[in-house]
Copies of this chain bind each other. A is one copy, B any other.
Amino acid sequence: MGPGEEATPADEADAFRLGALLAADGWVVLSGGRDAGVMRAVSQGAKTVPGSLTVGVLPSAGAPVAAGVDVAIVTEMHNARNNVNVQSSHVVLAFAGGGPGTASEIALALKAGKPVILLGGDELARAFFRRLGGDRVVIAGSPEEAAAAARAFRPAP
């Protein structure tokens, strides 16, 4: 989870690498599915891995789907779809420095009892979310650390 149109090139590069790492570990990579920012980059990164599977949970029927999304779920519920994203995930990886949409996903994930791995952001954002979620919030310094942290939450096969 992370910024769309507001993503920086560094965010997108991180997301792309994260997508590839998660897919290589065998995760299904689910994102908000729109053709923008972190959603597009993580899907395209995942698709560099043969046999990968990506899901995009879209806000509306008209939203263009990111290239790299294998399965598009059209919710037609706009930002309320953020709750579908987190409910459908075993672990939520989020850009701590994202805007209100990303912040709502982190909060909804914690409300749903999901583990959250935070990437990026500054001390203020990390401190806020750490207090909000306690032990369920993990800070990762890089896509590699985030992917490594995610392994702890892998469901048994």
Contact = CB atoms under 8 A, between A and B. Distances in A.
B57 A73 contact: yes
Interface residues of A, number: 41
Interface stretch (A12-20, A37-45, A75-83, A140-148): A75-83
Given A73-B84, A76-B83, A82-B83, 20 more contacts: A55-B71, A55-B73, A57-B73, A60-B78, A61-B87, A73-B73, A76-B78, A76-B80, A77-B77, A79-B108, A79-B112, A80-B82, A80-B84, A83-B83, A99-B111, A100-B108, A100-B133, A104-B107, A104-B108, A104-B111
Interface of A: 28, 53, 55, 57, 60-61, 70-84, 87-88, 99-101, 103-104, 107-112, 124-125, 127-128, 131-133
